[in-house]
Amino acid sequence: MTRFGDGSLLVAWNDGCTGDENMYARRFSAGGALLWSLDLVFQPPGSENFYYTLGVAESNTVDVTADMIMQASFTVAQTLNGGRLDYYLSKRWWARRGGCHSGELHRFTSRGSDLRWRSISTRRRTARAGPTLSQLTLRYGRGVVGDAF
């Protein structure tokens, strides 16, 4: 938000509804009256290089233990097609989650036993297809070490 010398206010936001990085703005008078009848759209230079969210894949609880899970590792079979897949693990219903990478050991810093995974797929505006995740293998427990499974 920006307040001008005449007391009017400019409000800018990115609502993410259209799946892009465009910024929107509206100007209001000092008394709160709308000064612009439509949202003004700002498309940032280079926006064709941004990644746009396509979707989210998410598991239900995947562990079968009541023990506290302190570490986990996973490997994936994926095709990026000019896009990106970001992975997350959680063991407390997304109360705390951490970004992680295939083949790397992920150590949790809090207690919990509700292990789940999530993948967020994104692609560039100019890409013809988005990424695909065809397989995810998850290991957890005391003996897990990175990609050595």
Residue labelled with tokens 């929107």: 24
Per-residue model confidence (pLDDT) at position 77: 94
Does the structure show a pLDDT above 90 at 78? yes
CB-based contact 72:139 (threshold 8 Å): yes
Average pLDDT over residues 103-124: 85
Average pLDDT over residues 99-109: 87
Whose tokens are 């000092």? That residue is 30
What residue type is 138 in one-letter code?
L
Residue 6 forms beta bridges with which residues? none
pTM greater than 0.75: no
Q: 34, 26 in Cβ contact below 8 A?
A: yes
pLDDT at 129: 82
Instruction: Say which residue, 92 or 21, is predicted with more confidence.
Output: 92
Does residue 121 carry a pLDDT above 80? yes
Checking if the pLDDT of 149 tops 50, the result is no
pLDDT beyond 90 at 20: no
